[in-house]
Structure 1
């Protein structure tokens, strides 16, 4: 295991190949695995759900009080986009 994974944890990336969902650590430490589902659609659905990064949703899925300024900025951008026709 790489020192970075020992300190920060693994950074798994998920993908589907047929009915099998596989995952590997993005930091190339060698950790990973796979699971076979009943259908390829299930494998794709779970791979897509697990392959999300928390950074993608910062400002929408944040602790309410601690991230209040970020939530407000996200809301204002959303409102501005709607007002401009977006």
Structure 2
């Protein structure tokens, strides 16, 4: 699904006995599960992961950070962090 590729998955977590399950709320089909030693552990992890940090949303937005990511990639490439010879530049 295009929205998941652009914005990331929106996982919802639930527990069924000793198993924690997750599924993308956007309906793209991404899902998984993990088994814990006790049902209490599965419930605790599902509750901890199934929350939305709305106060943090702008800082985590993939599209909002695109200019910063491009600038860092350009800077890494310019400074030789991509495995090539390292260019030494100093600015004052």
- Residue of structure 2 equivalent to 1:30: 29
Name structure 1 gaps, 5 residues minimum: 64-86
- Residue of structure 1 equivalent to 2:19: 20
Moved runs in structure 1, 4+ residues, more than 2 A? none
- Residue of structure 1 equivalent to 2:40: 41
Q: How does 1:30-69 map to 2 (within 5 A)?
A: 30-55=29-54, 58=55
CA RMSD of aligned residues (A): 1.8
Name structure 2 gaps, 5 residues minimum: 60-92
Q: How far apart in 1 are the matches of 2:6 and 2:19? A: 30
Residue 22 of structure 1, CA deviation:
0.1
Q: How far apart in 1 are the matches of 2:8 and 2:51? A: 16
Describe the superposition over 1:28-52 as per-residue Cα deviations: whole angstroms up to 9, x where unpaired.
Answer: 1000100000000000000000001
Residue 53 of structure 1, CA deviation:
0.4
Aligned residues: 58
2:9 corresponds to 1:10: yes
Q: How far apart in 2 are the matches of 1:31 and 1:54? A: 21
* TM-score scaled by length of structure 1: 0.64
